[in-house]
Chain A
Amino acid sequence: MSRMAKRFPTRIDLRKGTVDMTHGAGGRAMAQLIEELFIKHFDNDLLRQGNDQAMFNIPAGRMVMSVDGHVVSPLVFPGGDIGSLSVHGTINDVAMSGAKPLYLSAGFILEEGFPLAELERIVISMATASREAGVPVITGDTKVVERGKGDGVFITTTGIGVVPEGLEISGANVKAGDAILVSGNIGDHGVAIMSRRENLYFETEIVSDSAALHGLVANMVAAVPEIHGLRDPTRGGIASTLNEIAFQAEVGMRLNEESIPIRREVDAACELLGLDPLYVANEGKLVAFCPANKAEALLNVMQAHPLGKDAAIIGQVVADDMGFVTMETGFGGTRIVDWLAGEQLPRIC
């Protein structure tokens, strides 16, 4: 502490201060911001090495790596903020291979004039999410852009993880006959964000489902290692995720609308806004594909976990070289569930 006191004679003003260009310029102001804000909250030994990179031992086996940029607007929303979202989003991308996530990196792009107090709140939220998930942020980067060239803060996180022996999880491995499961109610994140949009404000109890799913995934792969595919249906909702996998695995899918779990409030909000909940974003849900004879076992494991308690079997994979996702509607007809066209709602994550 004595060395730090000498380097920065006065502490950074986290109460009233704002981001300025010096915070990204590589000089003392940047070093102080890193020390008194980022290292303070993310604190861990690897980060404390203080180099331009973090050095660590790697376990034997297969590793996975994933990157995710976060530009969500508004920065704070019911059930989370850009900080927690940037941790959960990347952990989930890593975990969808069945991997145990190990480490994260974080790149911040800050806009000149952004209040440091708000930045600290976001960093605390991010650090809390990372600590709760047991996945530390071990290296980072900070850049500042001129006022008007950003939107407060953008955060890019990269995650690495290690895949347990014996797992072969890939969208390409999904096969005709597989059961399709979803881990819980769809559309919460998208509707929570929409409810706080400047031009669309509406009162609702709905909070984002933003959550790290690696604990749920660990239980799932331990119980049913035969899982063929996992994916988190974020932007574009489950409709887009199912189409991606149908395309990748060259199969079709058949859903049953009545079995898809959705909160009444989310259903009502979508009805009001003219949105189809199948296309609305999730940040704490996954879609799983497994052999039909393992579906019940997998469902039970999912429902036993707090993040999977509303899990359901929503349909099955069928042979179809056109790669169509179709759905029996609750009304008794059939419709196609196509890719999302254009953009249903920008900057959702």
Chain B
Amino acid sequence: MKYVDEFRDKKLAKKLASEIVQVADPARNYRLMEFCGGHTHAIFRYGVQDLMPDNVEFVHGPGCPVCVLPIPRVDNAIELAKQGAIVCTYGDMMRVPASKKNSLIKARAAGSDIRMVYSSQDALKIARDNPERAVVFFAIGFETTTPPTAVAIKLAAAEGLKNFSVFCNHVLTPPAMQHILQNPEIGESEQVNIDGFYGPSHVSSIIGSAPYEGFAATFRKPVVIAGFEPLDIMQSTLMLIRQINEGRTEVENQYTRVVSREGNQKAQRLVSEVFEVRQVFEWRGLGGVSRSALKIRDAFAEYDAERRFTISESNGTDVKGCECPAILRGVKKPTDCKLFGTVCTPDSPQGSCMVSSEGSCAAYWSFGRFRLDRLKEPAA
């Protein structure tokens, strides 16, 4: 595949790997957090860790939109379906555990009309095809997926599509990254020790690289906006290590083929026309994070499922023993969780991190299991 294979080239990977070995100081460790689940997935999918020296460690962050959605929001979506609405959702959401061992896929088996879609446009089409039914798009995702939701709402408004609404769960990257490092309710012992961050490049294709500048300066941590191909990740690793070695804490852009400092301003305008920032939003793992999510503006209130429907308050909590919250903060690894690989597997996920292919636990299990088992065995 042109424009893809170039970024998965084995020879270049080897060259970069040896450069990383040369640059990395053997006397220290480098703990680098890839915020985004897309990076986590690519690291495991291509075996990038195998090409890294032992003192370079990937710390998996909370950037998996499915994983960070707290249980009550999933309960809410199920309730919307029970009220008779057609709930349209991305496939990843279907198996995320809700309260009382429920999930969207189980709710569907029990008779609710829940449909898997690939885009907000599919949800709009379902609304057009079913004028007599209320259709709710269960919108999740970071800044990358927000503009398509904004487009869907604007189209629905232009078409006068009265049966369409959006259950908005769009979240924002920079406040969450900030929260990980500056977190009042997490004790000292849980402080996350991270030397640098890979910034999610798809997010930055919308918001640009500038929003991380304050973060890098305040917390004195280098950030490299990294593409999602394995060579992107390796090159970004080299850039992060160089910054750390030289004591720099800048925002660098590895993904220059797409990302600019200012980002996509047309998309930004569209988003701010339809959405405004919520005062506080509950994240799984992080708790309430101020100004970290979006809600639909008053001007588009009739397309806001939270205002159109009466949704009862859910106080659902995670399965006991599930370490998803600490794993999402980068404090624990999937293998630190007692449920990992015992009761919690991709076939019977107990926590959200085991569901999505971008979740740390699922990636550990699906792509890295053999390595972990070997580690447990005494050295031969």
A interface vs B, CB < 8 Å?
199-200, 264, 267-268, 271, 273-274, 276, 322, 324, 326, 328-336, 338, 341-342
Contact = CB atoms under 8 A, between A and B. Distances in A.
Contact of B370 (A199, A326, A329, A331): A326
Nearest to B363: A335
Contact of B45 (A273, A322, A324, A335): A335
A330 B7 CA distance: 11
A332 B50 contact: yes
A331 B369 contact: no
Contact of B367 (A264, A271, A331, A335): A335
Interface of B: 1, 4, 8, 10, 13-14, 17, 44-51, 95, 115-118, 122, 125, 230, 345-347, 357, 362, 365-371, 373
A332 B10 contact: yes
Contact of A331 (B46, B366, B371): B46
Contacts of A329: 45-47
A268 B2 CA distance: 9
A338 B357 CA distance: 12
Nearest to B367: A335
B122 A342 contact: no
A220 to B, nearest CB: 31
B370 A342 contact: no
Contacts, number: 78
Nearest to B92: A274
Contacts of A268: 1, 4
A267 B2 CA distance: 11
Nearest to A346: B116
A341 B144 CA distance: 26
A203 to B, nearest CB: 15
Contact of B14 (A200, A271, A326, A332): A332
6 contacts: A199-B122, A331-B47, A333-B46, A336-B370, A338-B369, A341-B347
Contacts of B95: 342
Contacts of B373: 322, 324
Contact of A332 (B1, B13, B115): B13
Contact of B118 (A199, A328, A332): A199
B347 A324 contact: no
Given A199-B118, A271-B1, A341-B345, A330 B366 contact: no
